[in-house]
Amino acid sequence: MTDAFRVPIDIKYAIEGGEPALMAYRRWRNISRDDLAAKSGISKDDIEAIEDGHKDIEEAMLESLSAALEVPQDQLI
């Protein structure tokens, strides 16, 4: 990743407004939970639980989700 990582302002505002970062970045990339699960190797149930605030992103998941969404890891936590 480069230092010039930028997201649309509406995504930034959504995250600042309380939308889970994983959900906002998934929406930005226009990727479904099913597709993210397939790309990342993380189950759809785990992705849903993270987005719903019932589960934290585990360190082992972070790299896969970050790569699948093409966002820096620190943006997801």
In a domain, 57, yes or no: yes
Total-model pTM? 0.86
Helix boundaries (H) for 1-77: 9-16, 21-28, 33-40, 44-51, 59-69
pLDDT at 2 over 60: no
Say which amino acid occupies 57: I
Give 32's contacts (C-beta < 8 A, 6+ positions apart): 26
Query: Is-contact 68 40, C-beta < 8 A?
Result: yes
**Amino acid (one-letter) located at 76:** L
**Residue 45 in domain:** yes
Domain count, the chain: 1
Establish if 1 belongs to a structural domain. no
- At 23-42, the pLDDT tens digits run 999 999 999 999 999 999 99
